[in-house]
């Protein structure tokens, strides 16, 4: 057996990024696009139109079962029954309560809650590679999503810290209105194998809205604004 170093993971859009001039950087064992042009111009595009970042490499852990309410309460004591709670600081994460018995934790790494600490009747499933994630940021976000989904994406219906399972570009999708940046922002999760289809539809539909792909560095600039 030839022992290789720990192999690098690729997002489902890896080849798309490469074909569009991305330079890559390694983050937590993943190859992710650092940027396509300059971080500043990407951030400007997002501030004026819409930026779209591939965040498929970020951790997604699904907790299911009758013990989920107790677990959610323990992780975020002030969380609502359903919706999103933003944990800040060291272990930043978005806790998405999809149903009473389903909690999806979106974090930067795939590090799960240690098995002993999830409590009774909770099944932890790492869905990092099941779902591709896109981070849409910018003032024209709603305009773009209106062309992709019949779901009412206005803030009145999907407020900050709200989430919804719906259809986007003909594909099942989870929308999370994110509080992480001071601009309108939406995280979109679709099946891994649908990633390129949805990504391309978003870019195509948003052409006149000034949509531009956003690398890690550009994304960091936007996050810093907060």
Rule CB under 8 A: which residues touch other proteins?
1-12, 14-15, 30, 56-57, 64-65, 123, 125, 127-131, 146-152, 154, 156-157, 169-171, 191-198, 201, 205
53/198 with CB nearer other proteins: 198
- Could you tell me if 211 and 49 are in contact, meaning their C-beta atoms sit under 8 angstroms apart? yes
Name which of 152 and 217 has its Cβ closer to other proteins.
Answer: 152
> Phi and psi for 93 in degrees, rounded to 5?
-160, 155
CB atoms within 10 A of CB 208: 10
Minimal distance, residue 82 CB to other proteins, in Å: 20
Reading the block at residue 79, the tokens are 């969380």
- Compute how many other C-beta atoms are within 10 angstroms of the C-beta atom of residue 44: 16
Q: Based on CB atoms, which residue is closest to other proteins, 65 or 179?
A: 65
Q: What is the rounded end-to-end Cα distance, in angstroms, of the chain?
A: 49
Shortest Å, Cβ 206 to other proteins: 11
Q: Tell me the closest approach of the beta carbon of residue 143 to other proteins, in angstroms.
A: 9
Nearer to other proteins (CB atom), residue 2 or residue 81: 2
- For 42, the enclosing helix (H) or strand (E) is helix 39-48
Q: Report the nearest approach of other proteins to the CB of residue 49 (Å).
A: 17
d(CA 219, CA 135): 9
| Best CA proximity match to 215, nearest among 42, 14, 46, 20 | 42
Give the CA dihedral 34, 38, 42, 48, nearest 10 degrees.
170
Q: Of 43 and 163, which CB lies nearer to other proteins in the complex structure?
A: 163
We find the least distance from the C-beta atom of residue 137 to other proteins, in angstroms, to be 21
Q: Where are the beta strands (DSSP E) in 171-218?
A: 171-177, 185-191, 211-214
CB of 226 vs other proteins, minimal distance in Å: 27
Q: Which is nearer to other proteins, 93 or 148 (CB)?
A: 148
């Amino acid at each position: 057996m030839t022992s290789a170093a720990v192999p690098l993971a690729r997002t489902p859009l890896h080849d798309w990024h490469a074909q569009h001039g991305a330079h890559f950087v390694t983050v937590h064992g993943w190859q992710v696009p650092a940027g396509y042009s300059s971080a500043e111009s990407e951030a400007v595009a997002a501030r004026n139109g819409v930026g779209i970042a591939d965040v498929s490499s970020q951790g997604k852990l699904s907790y299911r079962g009758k013990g989920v309410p107790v677990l959610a309460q323990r992780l975020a004591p002030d969380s609502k029954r359903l919706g999103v709670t933003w944990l800040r600081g060291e272990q930043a994460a978005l806790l998405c309560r999809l149903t009473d018995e389903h909690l999806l934790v979106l974090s930067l790494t795939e590090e799960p809650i240690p098995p002993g600490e999830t409590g009774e009747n909770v099944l932890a499933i790492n869905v990092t590679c099941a779902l591709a994630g896109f981070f849409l940021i910018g003032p024209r976000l709603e305009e773009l999503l209106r062309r992709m989904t019949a779901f009412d994406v206005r803030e009145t219906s999907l407020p900050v810290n709200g989430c919804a399972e719906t259809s986007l570009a003909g594909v099942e999708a989870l929308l999370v209105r994110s509080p992480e940046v001071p601009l309108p922002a939406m995280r979109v999760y679709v099946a891994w194998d649908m990633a390129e289809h949805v990504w391309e539809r978003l870019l195509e539909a948003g052409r006149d809205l000034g949509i531009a792909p956003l690398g890690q560095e550009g994304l960091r600039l936007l996050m810093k604004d907060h």
